[in-house]
């Protein structure tokens, strides 16, 4: 089992929709989690950090469920510009980060 | 530009040649990571430096790969006798601080194509 797992998608949603992605992790000792956005052939860019129960930034909400070992990302009022791959990452040990394979989102006009 | 920079951005080489990539982290960041990413996958951890010390090297890295960070600032990643399977995006990331938590910031990557 991979340490961090994501549904690769693609998730095709209409503009204005609400979409949610989950990311499960197997290392119960992981302390910190992150959501990154990656556009095609570009580097990952940090979207949100999730250190405790959750975090909200505008249309984006991230939540952490330690009991079930998953983090989620909710995007409200989807925009065409939200189309990208969303990577989740968790810490492993004292400094290592493990990434999921990413979830592709396509927002359709 | 105060972000992470990488050079070159693209590299095409023939099988068997050696290549070297450079990463300049954000100036106050003492932690530096190298990752490899292939199509449809997330970044895979290759190696980690804290200041000039290389603290971990993934078993993904064969002995053809070597990385250095001689003065605790920029880092280089060298691949000797390249193989077609080495074709990938090589990403560098840095982060600050002594605490174990903290966000990483990525450079634009070096896209390697081995013919």
With bands split at pLDDT 50, 70 and 90, how would you rate the model's confidence at B2?
confident
Only one residue has tokens 């129960």, namely A53
Q: Which of B43, B101, B111 sits opposite A31 (nearest CB)?
A: B101
Is residue A73 within 8 Å of residue A18, measured between CB atoms? Answer: no
Nearest Cα of chain A lies from the Cα of B75 at a distance, in angstroms, of 18
Per-residue model confidence as pLDDT tens digits over A31-69:
889 999 999 999 999 999 887 778 899 999 999 999 999
The pLDDT of residue A38 is 97
pLDDT at B98: 62
- Tell which wins on pLDDT, B23 or B27: B23
Candidate from A8, A34, A43 with C-beta closest to B103: A34
**Residue percentage of chain A with pLDDT more than 90:** 73
**Which chain B positions have a beta carbon within 8 Å of A98's beta carbon?**
45
Q: Measured between alpha carbons, how far is B30 from B25 in angstroms, rounded to an integer?
A: 8
Does B48 score more than 80 pLDDT? yes
């Amino acid at each position: 089992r991979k340490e961090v797992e994501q549904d690769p998608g693609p998730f095709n949603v209409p503009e204005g929709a609400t979409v949610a992605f989950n990311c499960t992790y197997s290392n119960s000792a992981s302390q910190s989690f992150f959501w990154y956005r990656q556009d095609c052939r570009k580097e990952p860019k940090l979207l949100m950090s999730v250190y405790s129960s959750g975090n909200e930034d505008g249309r984006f909400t991230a939540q952490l469920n330690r009991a079930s070992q998953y983090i989620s990302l909710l995007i409200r009022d989807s925009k065409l510009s939200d189309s990208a791959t969303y990577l989740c990452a968790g810490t492993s040990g004292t400094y290592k980060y493990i990434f999921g394979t990413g979830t592709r989102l396509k927002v359709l006009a | 530009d105060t972000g992470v920079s990488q050079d070159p951005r693209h590299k095409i080489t023939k099988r068997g040649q050696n290549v070297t990539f450079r990463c300049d982290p954000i100036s106050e960041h003492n932690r530096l990571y190298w990752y490899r990413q292939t199509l449809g996958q997330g970044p895979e951890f290759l190696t980690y430096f804290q200041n000039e010390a290389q603290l971990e090297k993934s078993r993904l890295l064969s002995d053809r790969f070597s990385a250095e960070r001689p003065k605790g600032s920029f880092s280089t990643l060298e691949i000797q006798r390249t193989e077609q399977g080495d074709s990938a995006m090589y990403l560098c990331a840095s982060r600050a601080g002594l605490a174990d938590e903290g966000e990483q910031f990525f450079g634009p990557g070096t896209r390697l194509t081995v013919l």
